[in-house]
Amino acid sequence: MSILVKYQKSLQALDKKKMEECIHDDYAFTNYSQGKVLTKTDVISWAMTGDVKREKIRILFENDEVGVEHAFVSFSDGNKQAVLAFYTFKDGKIYSVETGATNLPK
């Protein structure tokens, strides 16, 4: 099973242990819209709140080094986005993520 599929399933199930297995300890998620870099702990804590709902997830490309994914994301505050994510992998885990997001009508 691909790294991104494992990650998708762990997010959907809100399975903290599986998420921890998918994400590298030195992970960094660059959140350009908020000007922040989130750590593994930050992202897992956020995911466990159930704030993020992803649907129509498509893995556009994945190999042992990188992955590209597109998804429609909604948040508990009612905001919705189309998100394109670029992942890098290290040691068989997600090492970094950068996203580009387009706001969608509520």
pTM over 0.75: yes
Please state the domain count of the chain: 1
Share of the chain above pLDDT 90, in %: 90
Q: In the block, which residue shows the tokens 């969608």?
A: 104
For residue 10, give its domain range.
3-104
pLDDT above 90 for 31: no
Whether residue 33 is predicted with pLDDT greater than 80 in this model: the reply is no
Return the closest-CA partner of residue 16 out of 46, 56, 38: 46
User: Which residue is associated with the tokens 């990188």?
Assistant: 66
Q: What is the pLDDT of residues 56-69, one digit of tens each?
A: 999 999 999 999 99
Write the CATH number for 52.
3.10.450.50
The 10s digit of each residue's pLDDT in 38-52 is 999 999 999 999 998
Q: Are 30 and 97 in contact (CB under 8 A)?
A: yes
